[in-house]
């Protein structure tokens, strides 16, 4: 009977709460209906209806929470063995100080107002953000910021989501403050609010920065023509844009985690690591940018002068890669020292140990030192330059790069020879001062030599007219050689060395052969066919004279 009595008390309490909230709901509807008759509120019917709907939702929410609290509280009392719930509840309420009741009522009143304000702001937030988005899109169209235009809607959706959550967290924190929660509880609510603020703003800043970077990328490509200084610099730095975005993302996330960890005092010591990681990422990004800028500046200073001679250009093309490599290593070295300083590591002992280690390695790596010394001599004694056609050992082709340790040579067939500078002993350079294109012309003994000389003279004139690298007319000083089957006329064409994958002498030799073949065909001179002379000895006459023309047959 006692349990049934207690249950009936619980239902009675729930019924009383329900009646109270029904009365409140009726009073609320009556107040809003009366407000429609007020002249100064006739133009705000839609806003009043919205407030009425919000108020109904708040009342329903409070009724649900209060009913659950009554049920849970009475179940706890029944489980603990209380026999008279009304008496115990009455005594409990009588023992509650009046100040606490005032605090609860005041907190409920303030919380209700905060909820109404939050819902109202949330309702008006959407049109406000849409208007702001329209303004941003109009500016993006005007400034031709395509990425900003494309990502505006996504950004505003995320901004609305995070801003709404921030409003509810602020409401929760203020409610706890007005309900006079213990300092520990308020501290946890504050950590939750500030932590979410840091995360939300970090995500929004990252998305906005990414859109701005992409838009600036498109802006530079659309507004600056190829060949301009800005376009030339940016085209060489463009490949760093994805790397820069990844570094920016890492910096924002590391900073976000650092700030959130810093809110928790028990692990504040770990927050210093985040600051060091941010500095590390910034140093890596700056070193990459400085390397690219240093290489571009060296190219601008060394290679863009139009008044240089061909030899000076080749020398600068040879030295520029070395200076670029040296600047790159210097920047890496400086970045390494900076990183050590960020992590509070004294670089002096490390540099001293590295010097001793380098000395030990240098004493043992004689081949390395030999290659580097030979590389310096090749550069400063001007044995060959980048673009020269050389031959050394089994390698021949155009010099692509001269480094401190190796030389790269591109063969006309495409393969690359990488040769240690210390192994280069003899060099044949086809690109110094001048070079001869030598072509041997076989002719038959029956050919008219004077007629061929005239044809070669005409070929020489045509060759000089069409090829500016030809310095002098073709030199052909008589017959070079007699063979049993033909005669040979050697032609020599003096050429100005130019950069050519095959070597200019090899290319002009092919041109001369083509021109001579075409001239011979036009003059009706037949090609020289292979011949073999066979002499037969008669068995009847062993004393036959093999030198008589009558006794020979030509096949």
pLDDT in tens, 155-207: 888 888 888 888 888 888 888 888 777 888 888 888 888 888 988 898 888 88
387 and 475 both lie in a single domain: no
Task: Measure the CA–CA gap between 486 and 532, rounded to whole angstroms.
Answer: 11
188 and 172 both lie in a single domain: yes
DSSP symbols for 78-97? HHHT-S-HHHHHHHHHHHS-
pLDDT at 394: 85
32 and 153 both lie in a single domain: yes
Please say whether the beta carbons of 528 and 442 come within 8 A: yes
Q: Is residue 220 part of a domain?
A: no
> What is the DSSP code (8-state) at residue 470?
B
148 and 87 both lie in a single domain: yes
142 and 105 both lie in a single domain: yes
143 and 190 both lie in a single domain: yes
Regions of the chain short of the pLDDT cut 70:
1-3, 34-48, 82-83, 92-94, 96, 100-101, 221-234, 236, 265-272, 303-312, 314, 350-366, 529-555
- CATH number, domain at 504? 3.30.70.100
Helix residue ranges, H only, 96-239: 98-143, 146-178, 183-223, 229-237
Task: Measure the CA–CA gap between 288 and 281, rounded to whole angstroms.
Answer: 11
pLDDT at 364: 54
- Kindly tell me the number of DSSP H helices and DSSP E strands found in the chain: 14, 10
Q: Is residue 27 part of a domain?
A: yes
pLDDT in tens, 85-130: 777 777 766 676 777 667 777 777 787 788 778 877 877 787 888 8
29 and 126 both lie in a single domain: yes
pTM, two decimals, is 0.50
Please say whether the beta carbons of 156 and 129 come within 8 A: yes
416 and 447 both lie in a single domain: no
Q: Is residue 543 part of a domain?
A: no
pLDDT at 553: 40
Q: Is residue 540 part of a domain?
A: no
Which range of residues forms the domain containing residue 399?
375-429
Task: Measure the CA–CA gap between 297 and 317, rounded to whole angstroms.
Answer: 14
End position of a domain, from candidates 394, 411, 429: 429
End position of a domain, from candidates 429, 449, 464: 429
Q: Is residue 358 part of a domain?
A: no
Task: Measure the CA–CA gap between 192 and 185, rounded to whole angstroms.
Answer: 11
101 and 187 both lie in a single domain: yes
- CATH number, domain at 410? 2.30.30.60
91 and 200 both lie in a single domain: yes
Beta-strand pair 533-535/487-495? unpaired
402 and 462 both lie in a single domain: no
Instruction: Report CA Rg, the chain.
Output: 47
End position of a domain, from candidates 183, 206, 229: 206
Please say whether the beta carbons of 147 and 216 come within 8 A: no
pLDDT at 70: 80
Q: Is residue 129 part of a domain?
A: yes
Q: Is residue 258 part of a domain?
A: no
pLDDT at 416: 92
421 and 504 both lie in a single domain: no
pLDDT at 537: 59
End-to-end CA distance of the chain: 140
Helix, strand, coil proportions of the chain in percent (round to 5)?
70, 10, 20
Sign of dihedral through CA atoms 144, 147, 148, 151?
positive
CA angle 409, 415, 418 (to 5 degrees): 40
- The structural domain count of the chain equals 3
Q: Is residue 242 part of a domain?
A: no
What stretches of 367-415 adopt beta strand conformation (E)? 389-392, 395-402, 406-410
């Amino acid at each position: 009977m006692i349990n049934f009595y207690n249950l009936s008390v619980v239902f009675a309490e729930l019924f009383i709460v329900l009646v109270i909230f029904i009365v409140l709901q009726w009073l609320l509807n009556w107040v809003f209906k009366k407000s429609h008759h007020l002249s100064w509120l006739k133009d705000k019917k839609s806003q009043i209806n919205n407030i009425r709907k919000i108020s109904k939702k708040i009342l329903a929410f409070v009724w649900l929470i209060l009913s659950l609290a009554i049920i849970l509280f009475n179940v706890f009392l029944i489980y603990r063995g209380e026999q008279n719930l009304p008496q115990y509840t009455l005594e409990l309420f009588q023992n509650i100080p009046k100040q606490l009741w005032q605090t609860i009522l005041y907190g409920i009143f303030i919380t209700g107002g905060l909820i109404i304000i939050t819902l109202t702001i949330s309702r008006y937030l959407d049109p406000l953000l849409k208007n702001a988005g329209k303004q941003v899109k109009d500016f993006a169209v005007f400034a031709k910021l395509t990425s900003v235009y494309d990502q505006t809607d996504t950004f505003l959706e995320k901004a609305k989501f995070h801003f709404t959550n921030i409003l509810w967290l602020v409401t929760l924190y203020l409610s706890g403050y007005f309900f006079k929660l213990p300092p520990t509880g308020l501290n946890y609510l504050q950590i939750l609010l500030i932590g979410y603020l840091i995360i939300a703003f970090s995500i929004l800043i990252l998305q906005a920065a990414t859109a701005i970077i992409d838009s600036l990328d498109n802006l530079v490509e659309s507004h600056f023509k190829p060949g301009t200084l800005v376009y030339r610099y940016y085209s060489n730095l463009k490949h760093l844009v994805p790397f820069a975005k990844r570094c920016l993302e890492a910096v924002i996330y590391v900073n976000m985690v650092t700030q959130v960890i810093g809110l928790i005092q028990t692990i504040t010591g770990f927050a210093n690591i985040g600051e060091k990681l941010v500095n590390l990422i910034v140093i890596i990004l700056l070193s990459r940018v400085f390397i690219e800028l240093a290489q571009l500046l060296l190219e601008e200073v060394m290679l863009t002068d139009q008044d240089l001679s061909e030899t000076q250009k080749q020398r600068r093309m040879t030295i520029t890669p070395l200076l670029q490599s040296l600047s790159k290593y210097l920047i890496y070295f400086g970045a390494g020292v900076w990183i050590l300083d960020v992590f509070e590591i004294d670089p002096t002992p490390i540099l001293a140990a590295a010097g001793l280690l380098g000395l030990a390695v240098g004493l043992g790596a004689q081949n390395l030192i030999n290659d580097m010394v030979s590389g310096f001599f090749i550069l400063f004694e001007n044995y060959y330059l980048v673009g020269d056609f050389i031959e050394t050992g089994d390698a021949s082709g155009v010099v692509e790069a001269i480094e401190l340790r190796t030389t790269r040579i591109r063969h006309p067939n495409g393969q690359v020879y990488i040769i240690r500078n210390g192994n280069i002993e003899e060099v044949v350079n086809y690109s110094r001062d001048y070079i001869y294109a030598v072509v041997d012309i076989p002719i038959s003994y029956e050919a008219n030599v004077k007629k061929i000389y005239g044809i070669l003279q005409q070929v020489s004139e045509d060759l000089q007219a069409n090829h500016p690298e030809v310095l002098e007319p073709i030199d052909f000083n008589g017959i070079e050689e007699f063979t049993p089957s033909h005669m040979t006329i050697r032609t020599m064409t003096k050429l100005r060395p130019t950069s050519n994958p095959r070597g200019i002498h090899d290319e002009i030799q092919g041109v001369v052969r083509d021109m001579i073949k075409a001239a011979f065909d036009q003059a009706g001179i037949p090609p020289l066919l292979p011949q073999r002379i066979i002499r037969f000895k008669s068995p009847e006459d062993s004393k036959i004279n093999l030198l008589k023309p009558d006794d020979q047959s030509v096949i």
